[in-house]
Amino acid sequence: MRSIGSIPLALAALLAVPRAAADGPFVSSTSTAAWQDNVTFAPSGYGVRSALDLETGVDVTWIHSVDFSTLLTSCVSTNVDACTSYAGLDNLSVGPTFELRRRLGLGALAPVVSVGLSGCAIGFEDPERSKIEGSLLLGFEQRLSDSLQVVVGAKLGSFNARDIVFSGNYASADAALNWDLSETWRVKLSGGWRNGDAVSNYTAEESPSGWIPIDENAAYLPGAWHYVSTFHEPFVAYRVSTVTWSYGIGVSPALGPHTSLTLQLTHLDAPGIDRYVDNILSLSVTHQF
């Protein structure tokens, strides 16, 4: 998995290629309020903390037609995320995405496959969490009928931070079933899998060797950790490698021809010696300009 670190280099090479003339820019914005009951991603009993995040993002997209069935899209995304409880998690991100999409056939029911590269620079209020991310994207989508659509995606990614605790690699896959009940209402069922490095934040205690996690298994968990002041009390940030499963349901009414609202509940579960569970309830408004 360490070879994933070459993804940012591939992204840089792609950025160096002159961009062809394209239609656009097309601008969209999304504002989200999200409640997490385990923003620390800690195992039960070891520092689970909840928080409300307020997030606003803007996407600017250009579309270039390569041939009759192939589109090349380039997008620049910016995002501002404010955690109302823990200012150290506040962050600003910006980055590009390039994606090649091809329709395999004629008509609205023909499947679409895609491949792309994305990159992102994220600056946190806690500077050691600031990082650069790069990922390879694969996608498949198809309408099963006028009202049902299947969307499948996969990602192979790497993130390199100022501190090794917040760096790592991962692979992920997700799938969604979109059900259009009417021209106004859509219901979405989703599921996902992620395998790789993540950051858990534990409550901490001081020992003769320094701050360590309050965890009877800490002596047996390999990796790196260090003391952080993010959560207004003694905590250590700890890098874990784990498999995480996610399940979600959402409802999305159209508020107008260019605006939609989405209410979604997502459950994340990472089983193991220490089990990590998080529930996220989010409300988003998206507007296409």
Look at residue 176 and tell me if it is in a domain.
yes
- Tens digits of residue pLDDT in 45-63: 778 999 999 999 999 999 9
15 domain residue, yes or no: no
Neighbours of 124 (CB within 10 A): 21
pLDDT at site 217: 52
pLDDT of residue 2: 39
What residues have CB less than 8 Å from 15, skipping those under 6 apart?
Answer: 96, 119
Residue from 137, 146, 128, 256 nearest 199 by CA: 128
84 assigned to some structural domain:
yes
What's residue 203's pLDDT? 86
Q: How much is the pLDDT for 9?
A: 44
Does some domain include residue 139?
A: yes
Which of these, 81, 96, 93, 178, lies nearest to 137 by C-alpha position? 96
What pLDDT, on a 0 to 100 scale, did the predictor assign at position 18? 43
In a domain, 20, yes or no: no
In a domain, 88, yes or no: yes
**Residue 42 in domain:** yes
Q: What is the pLDDT of residue 78?
A: 98
Q: Read off the pTM.
A: 0.86
248 and 266 in contact (C-beta within 8 Å)? Answer: yes
Q: Which residues of the chain have pLDDT under 70?
A: 1-22, 209-213, 215-224
Domain interval for residue 214? 28-288
Task: Quote the pLDDT of residue 107.
Answer: 86
Q: What is the pLDDT, as a whole number, of residue 236?
A: 87
Using one digit for the tens of pLDDT, what is the confidence trace for 187-234?
999 999 999 999 988 888 777 766 666 765 554 455 567 889 999 988
Residue 11 amino acid letter: L
The answer to the question of residue 56 being in a domain is: yes
Q: Do residues 250 and 262 lie in contact, with contact meaning Cβ atoms separated by under 8 Å? A: yes
Q: What is the pLDDT of residue 15?
A: 43
Specify the number of domains making up the chain: 1
Write the CATH number for 257: 2.40.160.40
The pLDDT value given to residue 11: 43
| Alpha-helix runs per DSSP H in 116-256 | none
- Read off φ and ψ for residue 13, nearest 5 degrees: -65, -40
